[in-house]
A and B are shown apart, each in its own frame.
Chain A
Amino acid sequence: MKAYEFERRQFVIGGIALLVVVIYIIRLAVLQLAPNDYEEISRNNAIYNRIIFPSRGSIYDRNGKLLVYNEPAYDVMVITREVSGLDTLDFCRTLHMSREEFDDRMAWIKDVSKNPGYSSYSQQLFRPQISSADFLVFQEKMFRFKGFYVRERNARQYRYPNAAHVLGYVAEVSGNDIAENDYYNAGDYIGKQGVERSYEEVLRGQKGIEVLLRDARGKIQGRYNDGLDDQHPIPGKDIVLSLDIELQALGERLMRGKRGAIVAIEPSTGEILCMVSAPTYSAFDMVGKQRGENIMKLLKDQSRPMYNRAISGTYPPGSTFKPSQALTFMQEGIIQSDVTSYPCTGGFRYRNLKVGCHSHASPLSVKPALSTSCNGFFCWGLYYMFGNRGKYASVQDAMTTWKDYMVSMGFGYKLGVDLPAESRGMIPNAEYYDKHLKKWNALTVISIAIGQGEVTLTPLQIANQGATIANRGYYITPHIVRRIVGGQLADSLTRRHFTKASPRYYEEVVSGMRGAVTSGIGTCRGAQNPWYEVCGKTGTAQNRGHDHSVFMGFAPRNNPQIAVAVYVENGGFGATFGVPIGSLIMEQYIRGELSPASQARAAGIASRSVN
Chain B
Amino acid sequence: MSLDWWTIGLYVVLLFWGWFSVCGACYDYNHPDLFSFNLNSGKQFVWILTSLLLAGALLLIEKRFYYKASMVVYVMMMLVLLLTIFIAPDTKGSRSWIPIGPVKLQPAEFAKFAVALAVGKLMERYGFNLSNYKDFLRVVCLFLLPMILIIGQKETGTALVYLAFFLVLYREGMTGSVLFAAFMFVVYVVVGVKFGDETVSYMPASAGEAWVLLLSLVSTLLLTWRYCKDSRSLGQATLFSLGFTLAAYLFSAYVIPFNFCIVQLIINVGVLIYLGVEYAITRSYRYLLIMLFMIASTIVFYACDYVFSHNILPPHQQTRIEVLLGKNDDVRSAGYNVNQAKIAIGSGGFSGKGFLKGTQTKLKYVPEQETDFIFCTIGEEEGFLGSAGVLLVYLFFIWRLISLAERQPDTWGRVYGYSVVCIFLFHLFVNIGMVLGLTPVIGIPLPFFSYGGSSLWGFTILLFIFLRMDAERNFKQK
Contact = CB atoms under 8 A, between A and B. Distances in A.
Tell whether A and B belong to one assembly: yes
Interface of A: 1, 3, 5-7, 9-10, 12-14, 16-18, 20-21, 23-25, 27-29, 31-33, 36, 38-39, 41-43, 45-47, 213-217, 221-223
B359 A45 contact: yes
A222 to B, nearest CB: 3
8 contacts: A3-B173, A7-B406, A17-B428, A20-B428, A23-B438, A28-B391, A31-B346, A45-B365
Contact of B343 (A1, A20, A41): A41
A39 B358 CA distance: 11
Contacts of A3: 172-173, 411, 414
Nearest to A11: B402
Given A38-B347, A42-B347, A17 B173 contact: no
Contact of A45 (B172, B343, B405): B343
A9 B173 CA distance: 9
B436 A36 contact: no
B347 A17 contact: no
B360 A32 contact: no
Given A7-B406, A213-B359, A32 B391 contact: no
Nearest to B123: A3
B438 A24 contact: yes
Interface string B360-371: 101111000000
Contacts of B387: 28, 32
Contact of B349 (A5, A27, A39, A222): A39
The binding surface of chain B is classed by DSSP as helix
Given A3-B411, A31-B436, A25 B363 contact: no
B399 A42 contact: no
Nearest to B421: A13
B429 interface: yes
Contacts of B391: 21, 24-25, 28
Nearest to A20: B429
Given A27-B436, A216-B363, A32 B379 contact: yes
Nearest to B32: A222
A118 to B, nearest CB: 14
Given A47-B359, A216-B365, A10 B402 contact: yes
Contacts of B161: none
A27 B429 CA distance: 13
A174 B438 CA distance: 48
A32 B345 contact: yes
Contact of A46 (B349, B363, B411): B363
A20 B425 contact: yes
A13 B166 CA distance: 12
B425 A6 contact: no
Given A14-B402, A24-B432, A39 B347 contact: yes
Contacts of A42: 343-344, 346-347, 359-360, 365, 380
Contacts of A213: 29, 359, 362-363
Interface residues of B, number: 53
Given A12-B170, A13-B170, A20-B428, 15 more contacts: A3-B173, A3-B411, A5-B173, A7-B406, A13-B167, A17-B425, A18-B395, A20-B429, A25-B388, A28-B387, A28-B436, A31-B342, A42-B365, A45-B359, A214-B363
A13 B380 CA distance: 30
Contact of A38 (B176, B342, B350): B342
A45 B429 contact: no
A45 B365 CA distance: 8
Nearest to A46: B359
Given A9-B171, A13-B171, A14-B402, A32 B384 contact: yes
B392 interface: yes
B436 A17 contact: no
B146 interface: no
B398 interface: yes
A10 to B, nearest CB: 5
A21 B384 contact: no
B418 interface: yes
B399 to A, nearest CB: 6
Nearest to B406: A10
Contacts of A25: 388, 391-392
Given A6-B173, A13-B422, A42-B344, A21 B363 contact: no
A32 B29 contact: no
Chain B CB within 10 A, most for which of A32, A38, A47:
A32
A427 B438 CA distance: 78
Nearest to B168: A13
A24 B383 CA distance: 14
B170 A9 contact: yes
A13 B438 contact: no
B363 A36 contact: no
B30 interface: yes
A14 B176 CA distance: 15
A46 B361 CA distance: 10
B172 A6 contact: yes
